[in-house]
Amino acid sequence: MKFFIDTANLDQIKEAQDMGILDGVTTNPSLMAKEGITGTDNIMKHYVDICNIVDGDVSAEVISTDFDGMVREGEALAELHDQIVIKLPMIKDGVKACKYFSDRDIKTNVTLVFSPGQALLAAKAGATYVSPFIGRLDDVSTDGLNLIAEIRHIYDNYAFETQILAASVRHTMHVIDCAKLGADVMTGPLKSIVGLLNHPLTDIGLEKFLADYKKGN
Ligand code: E4P
């Protein structure tokens, strides 16, 4: 299972990268705005800064909602760095743009996916990644993890190669449940990754080992 971090915060990206377990980064316009990164030029530069920190795929989201605009923006983003993945919204023109980019071997991530039918369309269009938003489904009393299971089932039926990127992950149990269900990738905040380290028995055990070592020295 690949671990992506869902942030535009460079310090957090560096922290996850330094642990040696990071496989990529996802961003979106809201995450950019949260870091105070505004304006096309600054946003483009920020994508390059992110690519220079991590080794893996970095999703960069288009803001156009029409096919021509998505293609224009996506081509400019793809030119920035070979780690860039074009993130496209799950709308009709987004599906069409996904097919356009996949036909040209440019990686894509179809985002804002909330149903198995949408995931099926993304796979048919040759998406590299499909991003079902599990946390946002949970927010409206719908089982987000069930969507991961449904997409896994459908993709396995037809051996679709599109990778299921569980997005809108909010906490460590989402990560573990997504791993059990066979999601190919998860993207979440830093706390959902470093939180996996925590267990009181690890802390108690380490404290005792170190104390016993000191007794003998
Ligand atoms: C996915 O790529 C999105 O950036 C993200 O996971 C959305 O998460 P949120 O629902 O916590 O905003």
The verdict on the CB of residue 192 being under 6 Å from ligand 1 is: no
Average pLDDT over residues 45-52: 98
pTM for this predicted structure: 0.96
Q: Is the pLDDT of residue 160 over 90?
A: yes
φ and ψ at residue 129, rounded to 5 degrees:
-130, 145
Structure tokens of 110? Answer: 């179809």
φ and ψ at residue 185, rounded to 5 degrees:
-145, 150
CA 194 from centroid of its chain's CA atoms? 16
Q: Give pLDDT, residue 216.
A: 80
Tell the burial category of 56 from Cβ atoms under 10 Å away from its Cβ (0-12, 13-18, 19+). middle
pLDDT in tens, 12-26: 999 999 999 999 999
| Residue in 87, 92, 124, 180 annotated catalytic | 87
Using the mean position of ligand 1's atoms as its centre, give its distance from the Cα of residue 137 in Å: 11
Residues in the chain: 217
Average pLDDT over residues 147-154: 98
